[in-house]
Amino acid sequence: MLKTKALIAAFAGCLACPRPARAVAQNPAPWISGPADAAPAGANARPTGVIVPAIPGVPQMFLPDIGIAGDFAYERNTLPKTDPRYDASAQQPRIRDGQAVFFSPIDPYANAQVSIDIPEGGQANIEEAWLFFNKLPGNTSLRVGRFLPQFGLLDRLDTFQLPMLNRPSAIGDYIGGDGLNGTGVEYNFYVPNPWGLNLKMNLNAIRGDTLDSALGARTESLDLTYLATVDYSQDFYRSGSLESGVSVAQGPSPVGRSETLAEPYLQVQYAPTQRRIWTWSAEGLFADRHGLGPEDDKQGFYTFLDYNFALRYHAGFLVDMADQAQAPYGKQLGLAPNVTWEISDNTRLRLQYTHTTPLANERPNETVSLQATFSLGNLKQLE
């Protein structure tokens, strides 16, 4: 009996005793080969087979920033039903445009974006799909794909981002109500100069039908459309800034063989306080449109003054004058005061009155518009 108790006590003591630690070699899966297979048991060396650790700064999961934007409007005008310009659907509450935007950095040297546009009464389409290489030699950058090229002050702004209801006729009659949109390549760089001025150059080579499709036309052309912008900016008076430049585009024309567009622009901003900001913008457009007979040369000009008061309120006034873009003769003037309430950084309401002078036998048109725009997510800020 005593021997039995002694054996049980010895066995219990063995169970209570901690076991000495020992290394266990973790063999990789059979389909992974490499130097890790030859690593000795207990070695702490990191496996160096075909599976490698993630590159620092590169996301391991695809989690793009997502933004959704919408543009709603309700308009009333004074056109009679007998006027050819009368459109009953335009005087109903409507969704003018919608967008879904997906943006993500690929690595520290490149970004990518895809924008899906859902226009009123049209099919959804890819508005933008590009790669942007932002750290090329010589402090330059390159964009490849489908994108909104730089052309003047407003071309890179979507309709819901504009400081007025619609793109001014002085610009929109030539590059389209939604602005230019092309597929190709864009190159940006600073222009060296002995005065240390902040001069930037933007060069684009895009599809040859870009100027056509902006106006709803489409031609079969193997030629490219070329755009160039020289931009100068500087700060002044401690609380002000100035931006000026000129954009030039040359390519196949929707009304003839080819056309050249030149657009000088100027924007001055002065902010005496954070709650009072004055912004004055002016752009002119000069078009040489081959195919319109003796009146090939067309001109347009607009100026817009915006006063941001009480932080979230804006009062603006637009003067818009343009030659008829696709007819030999005719000039039209538009006057449009507006008031904008920025409810938040991503939501705003706007009330605008527009007076348009008549052309030929037309009667003048008076339009009152109420616009509501919004954006969800951290993309496409309205300011």
Question: Measured between alpha carbons, how far is 316 from 304 in angstroms, rounded to an integer?
Answer: 7
- Residue keyed to tokens 């049209």: 122
Tens digit of each residue's pLDDT (9 = 90 or more) over 195-236: 999 999 999 999 988 887 655 555 566 689 999 999 999 998
Distance CA 80, CA 360 (A): 17
pLDDT band at 35 (very low <50, low <70, confident <90, very high): very low
Mean pLDDT of 173-184: 88
Q: What is the token pair recorded at 161?
A: 């981002």
Contacts of 214 (CB under 8 A, 6+ apart): 175, 176, 178, 179, 180, 181
Residues 6+ apart with CB under 8 A from 355: 334, 335, 336, 364, 365, 366
Q: Is the pLDDT of residue 192 over 70?
A: yes
Question: Which of 115, 121, 132, 242 shows the shortest CA–CA distance to 179?
Answer: 115
Please, which pLDDT band fits residue 90 given cuts at 50, 70 and 90? confident
Class of domain 65-376: mainly beta
**CB-based contact 113:102 (threshold 8 Å):** yes
Provide mean pLDDT across the span 67-92. 88
Q: What is the pLDDT of residue 32?
A: 38
Residue 89: Cβ-neighbour burial (10 angstroms; 0-12, 13-18, 19+): exposed
User: What pLDDT does 88 receive?
Assistant: 85
pTM of the model: 0.79
Copy the structure tokens of residue 350. Answer: 């706007």
CB neighbourhood size of 346 (10 A) = 19
Kindly state the tokens that stand for 288: 């040489």
pLDDT value at position 231?
Answer: 97
pLDDT tens track for 329-377:
678 899 999 999 999 888 999 999 999 988 767 788 999 999 999 988 8
Domain boundaries, the chain: 65-376
Q: Strands 347-356, 331-342: parallel, antiparallel or unpaired by DSSP?
A: antiparallel
CA distance 338 to 46: 65
Mean pLDDT of the chain: 81
Alpha carbon of residue 17 to chain centroid: 69
